[in-house]
Structure 1
Amino acid sequence: MTNQDPTYEPNGTQPYTPETDAGYGEVASTNNEDFTNSTLDQTTDAQQKPEVKKSFAGSTWVALIVGAILLVLLLVFIMQNQENVQLQLFAWEMTFPIGAGMLIAAIAGALIMALVGGVRIIQLRRQVTHTNR
């Protein structure tokens, strides 16, 4: 046996193999796994941070921040688009800044969306009240 041989033992004793001492390998690996698992559990528990549950107030706060950012962007858009344009809708003709026209169109779209959503909510409430009777 030489130093390059993985089973070489410099003190002359027989190297460990599972065939020579089956009981030793089982006990050592079991104890090592138990120690490793308990150590990992302790470090994992110490490193884990408590989870914070989502709340309605937190979601509202995020929505307000997003709304404020969109409002600032909308105001910048309106201020940069001050050219007067002529808008036509059926028989009506209007002349005002294009930024204001875009704002009016966005508000009209939001109102239509809110109206459709409101009608759907009313339908669902009626359906719930009729099925509970």
Structure 2
Amino acid sequence: MSIHDDATGIPAGGDRQGRPAPQALAPSTRPTRTAALWVAVAVGLVVLVMLIVFFVQNQDMITVRFLGLEGTLALGTTLFIAAVGGGVLVALAGGARILQLRITDHRRRKAVGGPGVAP
């Protein structure tokens, strides 16, 4: 076998171990909605398993005080409630910003007379 004059030094038609060169891959197909749904379900299941492990490992009872109220909850449950509360706050802030941008865009289109604006 002869060596190409390229920088790799790999023999023509294969690699150093004598294996044939890989064939060109067929053009990739676009993922379907079903495939995306399957991946989302798989990721969701992994997250749920991780949450179950988190709850099982954090069952110590703690006292929680909030706005004059007092109660006893498991540590894992308390942290989960706090995380969900933080997610709700982020979702509210994001929703307010999206609404603000849509109103601004609507006003701009109305002033310019862009597409989709009734006469």
State TM-score, norm by structure 2. Answer: 0.62
Residues 104-132 of structure 1, C-alpha deviations (whole Å, 9 max, x = no match): 11110111111111111111111221111
1:85 equivalenced with 2:59 (yes/no): no
Kindly provide the amino acid, as one letter, of the partner of residue 108 in structure 2. Answer: T
2:30 to 38, 53, 62: 53
- Which stretch of structure 1 is more off in the superposition, 62-71 or 102-111? 62-71
Q: Distance in 2 between matches of 1:70 and 1:115?
A: 23
What secondary structure, in the 3-state scheme, does the structure 2 residue paired with 1:47 have? Answer: coil
State TM-score, norm by structure 1. Answer: 0.56
Residues 74-119 of structure 1, C-alpha deviations (whole Å, 9 max, x = no match): 1111122222111222422221111110111111011111111111
Structure number with larger C-alpha Rg: 1
Q: Distance in 2 between matches of 1:124 and 1:55?
A: 31
1:130 equivalenced with 2:107 (yes/no): yes
Q: How many residues align?
A: 88
Seen in structure 2, the aligned counterparts of structure 1 residues 121 and 55 have a Cα distance that, compared at 3 Å, is: farther
Instruction: Give the equivalent residue in structure 2 for 1:25.
Output: none
- Which stretch of structure 1 is more off in the superposition, 119-128 or 55-64? 55-64
1:4-19 equivalences under 5 Å are: none
- Considering fraction of residues, name the structure with more helix: 1
Report sequence identity in percent.
34
